[in-house]
Amino acid sequence: MIPESGQHSVLMAYVLWIFGFLGSHRFYVGRPISGTIWFSTFGLFGVGWLIDLVLIPGMVEKASEKFPARGRYDYNVAWLLLTFLGMFGAHHFYLRHWARGLIWLLTGGILGIGYLYDFWTLNQQVQAAELSKA
């Protein structure tokens, strides 16, 4: 197993992989294009999802290099909230984006379309939240 150097962990990637048909594990490691493909094709019809079992440790290592920040906000918590409670805006409330969280809560993630947008941008949102607190 690869040592954890950033806030992205192999264990979290595998937890998100369980729901790999959404591609959330690929978004988590900073691969939004392939994440969107997995999201649209249910993990490349299950084949890509199974192949990812072997690829996840390498993807996490690269993500930890790209998103190394350790601070007030935890990437893992933000990703769990987006993946499992995203339609209610829980990840926005966690990052103290109160207005955005309220909009998500009232509209179901802007009718679900904003869900994919946040899959694309959550790593950057966590980084921005870290910078804004400084």
Rounded-to-integer distance, Cα 38 and Cα 34, Å? 6
Q: Which residue has the higher pLDDT, 49 or 69?
A: 49
Decide if pLDDT at 111 tops 70. yes
Average pLDDT of the residues in 61-69: 82
Q: How confident is the model at residue 133 (pLDDT cuts 50, 70, 90)?
A: low
> Residues 40-45: contacts with CB within 8 Å, 24+ apart?
none
Share of the chain above pLDDT 90, in %: 56
- Taking the C-alpha atoms of residue 31 and residue 90, their distance in angstroms, rounded to an integer, is 22
Task: Give the per-residue pLDDT at 106.
Answer: 92
Would you say 73 and 127 are in contact if contact means Cβ atoms under 8 Å apart? no
Q: Where are the domains of the chain?
A: 10-66, 75-133
Instruction: Summarize the confidence of residues 106-116 as an average pLDDT.
Output: 84
* Residue 77: pLDDT over 60: yes
What pLDDT, on a 0 to 100 scale, did the predictor assign at position 131?
81
Task: Answer whether 75's CB lies under 8 Å from 126's CB.
Answer: yes
In degrees, to the nearest 5, what angle opens at C-alpha 95 toward C-alphas 52 and 102?
Answer: 105
